[in-house]
Structure 1
Amino acid sequence: MWSALFFLSLIRIEDISYFKLGEFIRLSIEISQKSDFSFSAEKNAVKVIFKEPLVFEKNNYARKKKVMPFKILVKGAEMTFIFEENFSVARYFVLPFPYKIIIDVSFKMSDIEDILTEGEKRRRPKIILDAGHGGKDPGTTHFNIREKDIALSFVRELADIIRKDRKFELILTRDKDEFLKLEERSGIANAVECDVFISLHVNYTKSSAVKGFEIFYFSKKFSKYALRVAEKENGVKLKEGDIVLFDLFSSYKEESSKKLAEFLKENLKDIGRVNRVEGAPFYVLAGTFCPSVLIELGFINNHEDRRKLISKSFRKAIAEKIYEGVKNFITYQLSYQNSYL
């Protein structure tokens, strides 16, 4: 007879999903509980080795009737993903609540010809705009005004300005009312190897007197207020003591993301109050390998902010200031390189 302790020590694979874009695949492995593991990658195989035995019901995935671009092998405490071809890069990070291991795999192979012609191509920097929420997730709602709609309106306004300037390559995570998982949004950023990632949102607080912009970058150091905002946008309750569960390969990007936030603040303060520039554990920013920020464009339950948020002229003014901040940041980033602006 199996003991209860044995079953408690088992790691159950709750779900495996993936996102594919071009030569990039992001794997998401959701497991039943926090667990220590080791990670290795070689040629066309990625291996995750846990300290406890795995429970994996393969038939659940067969019933999805979806052909995955990899094979899954499970033996004891080891889980191996075998791809059809060799990859060039494989890296991972962890998201808590629910506990997920996110693995990014790139099959893009750089060769001598690519390196030699890169200067001639004079690659335009890539900007990704992310309209928060969408589809079945309306975000914050007040007086029938939905965060997902405001965010998309601002993204479209900003996208028009960027396209007209023609200095940057632009990618939108969504250009219509559709639902995307948070890890899919940052997955798009990594898939296209973007230079800047900006996620636009709208805030809400108990006091209708609070107004203004707020700009956040990813950090495991944060105030109680920043944690509450992150919980709202993540859609889960976070415990301060458990944030150490975030295991990010890209933690070195925190400083450049903070610098981007500061450039945006300098421009946005010309047309409104910027309440704070802070770090917080936002899921949508976790795992991006480029400077990334989340902007709260205003408080939907503040009368003045709400009036501005639905004003096309004000949206355009904000979009112009955000774009100026992004341009200034990229110029700063390129100050030690040959500028291609």
Structure 2
Amino acid sequence: MVAAQTALKDMRINAEKDKTRLVLDLSNEVRYKILTLNNPNRLVVDLYGARKTNKIKSSTKGNGLIDTIRVAKNTPAKLRVVIETKQVVLYKVNMLKASQKRDSRLVIDLKGMYEGSQKVVASAINNSKMIIAVDPGHGGKDPGATGKKIKEKDLVLKISKRLANLINTEPDMTAILTRNDDSFPCPNNNRSCGQKSSLNERLEIAKRAGAVLFISIHANSFRDQRIRGAEIYALPDSAKFKKDEHWKAMYHNKQSKSRIKLINVTSGKQIKNVTASEVIAFDQSLQISDKIIQELRKVIRVRKSSRQAAFIVLGSNDMASVLIETSYLTNPEDEKILINPINQQKIAEAILKGVKKYTRESRQQVTK
């Protein structure tokens, strides 16, 4: 059989900062099947009608996101390659045809699904400054919600500036604003763009600044003027990657609480210099939102506990993110509270206290 002649000739790993690529060199194209398992996290590749050459060891130490690779003849009809990963990952697989200079290749790309969570945890516990992007919603041509005395775009800019000023007084934090005036952020400093482009540009501003946490400030509205109170939104990491891309999520148990773990980091000195790649953590956006809502309850009415919604600004895997609806401008009592500078300051202080509570408890988890 022709298929039986297909040989796995070599395996090559290329590990970058947040991504890892495994290339399987094959003598011919081959039919394959992928499945994923957890406990431990594994990506299983079945190569039908294939065999391994003597060069391929039955077990190989990995690199980057890969812990180990095991290769064995699972059945007479297929060769099984088991890729054990250090964490739950996103993956994509491509079969490349042979050329005059290269064999056929099965290319397996991996990237951390919890990159944003890892970054914010590392920043919370190491000696580096935590960079926080504060995003005043709307702006410019987009007024947002409109109350009787103030527009959302103006209110949230006031609160955001207060929050950024408070953050910048912290020795281990620094803030950047996605806008600091009545403007509508657009790519390449264009004068005009669509709402989706503006939202994505806000994320890009945060990424360029190296932000590990994105806080978007808004005020709500509703046709029923009796509805009032602050709300906060955040997404689990598994909901952040785009479903229309080629990336797929490894199977994993959905858990509501996350324990922070460090890889090969034990001493206090190592903790102070820990990097994101040495952290195992997930769903930190949810953890941060819980801490912020706890503090907001002390200064303003809160309508509901943390909620989930697929807002664009919450969808980046590159950083943890929360969106805060500070209250309802369509409710007279809420608007009266929000336009008072004293209350704007209290809201900003409560948000910062929530972030600081998160960083403090993160440190406590790894130093016990």
Classify the TM-score, shorter chain.
0.5 to 0.7
CA distance in 2, matches of 1:248, 1:257: 21
> Structure 1 residues 244-253 or 171-180, which shifts more?
244-253
From the CA coordinates, give the structure whose radius of gyration is larger: 2
Matched to 1:270, the amino acid is K
Q: Does 1:326 align with 2:362?
A: no
CA distance in 2, matches of 1:161, 1:260: 18
Q: Does 1:188 align with 2:199?
A: no
Partner-residue secondary structure (3-state), 1:331: helix
- Residues 250 and 184 from structure 1, CA distance in 2 versus in 1: closer, same or farther, beyond 3 angstroms? farther
Q: Contact 2:138–2:184 at 8 Å: present in 1 too?
A: yes
Matched to 2:210, the amino acid is E
2:178 pairs with 167, 173, 178, which one? 173
CA distance in 1, matches of 2:152, 2:342: 18
Q: Contact 1:218–1:281 at 8 Å: present in 2 too?
A: yes
The percent identity for this pair of structures is 31
| Cα distance, 1:144 vs structure 2 | 5.3
Name the residue aligned to 2:303.
Answer: 275
> For structure 2, which runs of at least 5 residues remain unmatched after alignment?
1-109, 114-122, 186-197, 255-280
| Cα distance, 1:257 vs structure 2 | 0.7
**Deviation beyond 4 Å, 4+ runs, structure 1:** 219-222, 243-254, 336-339
CA distance in 2, matches of 1:260, 1:283: 18
Q: Contact 1:250–1:289 at 8 Å: present in 2 too?
A: no
CA distance in 2, matches of 1:250, 1:307: 46
> For structure 1, which runs of at least 5 residues remain unmatched after alignment?
1-89, 94-117, 223-242
CA distance in 2, matches of 1:127, 1:296: 18
| Cα distance, 1:135 vs structure 2 | 1.0
CA distance in 2, matches of 1:328, 1:140: 30
| Cα distance, 1:330 vs structure 2 | 1.8
CA distance in 2, matches of 1:198, 1:250: 26
CA distance in 1, matches of 2:358, 2:246: 27
Q: Contact 2:238–2:249 at 8 Å: present in 1 too?
A: no
Q: Does 1:315 align with 2:339?
A: no
Q: Does 1:200 align with 2:228?
A: no
Q: Does 1:146 align with 2:174?
A: no
CA distance in 2, matches of 1:220, 1:138: 30
Matched to 1:158, the amino acid is L
CA distance in 1, matches of 2:246, 2:301: 34
Q: Deviations over 1:11-49 (max 9, x none)?
A: xxxxxxxxxxxxxxxxxxxxxxxxxxxxxxxxxxxxxxx
2:318 pairs with 281, 286, 289, which one? 289
Name the TM-score, length of structure 2 as normaliser.
0.50
- Residues 211 and 328 from structure 1, CA distance in 2 versus in 1: closer, same or farther, beyond 3 angstroms? same
CA distance in 1, matches of 2:341, 2:249: 37
Partner-residue secondary structure (3-state), 1:287: coil
- Residues 246 and 328 from structure 1, CA distance in 2 versus in 1: closer, same or farther, beyond 3 angstroms? farther
CA distance in 2, matches of 1:271, 1:208: 21
| Cα distance, 1:248 vs structure 2 | 8.0
CA distance in 2, matches of 1:220, 1:337: 21
Name the TM-score, length of structure 1 as normaliser.
0.53
Count of matched residue positions in the alignment of Structure 1 and Structure 2: 205
Structure-to-structure mapping, 1:69-148, within 5 angstroms? 122-143=127-148, 145-148=150-153
- Residues 146 and 256 from structure 1, CA distance in 2 versus in 1: closer, same or farther, beyond 3 angstroms? same
Name the residue aligned to 1:266.
Answer: 294
- Residues 310 and 145 from structure 1, CA distance in 2 versus in 1: closer, same or farther, beyond 3 angstroms? same
Matched to 2:215, the amino acid is I
Q: Contact 1:249–1:287 at 8 Å: present in 2 too?
A: no
- Residues 288 and 193 from structure 1, CA distance in 2 versus in 1: closer, same or farther, beyond 3 angstroms? farther
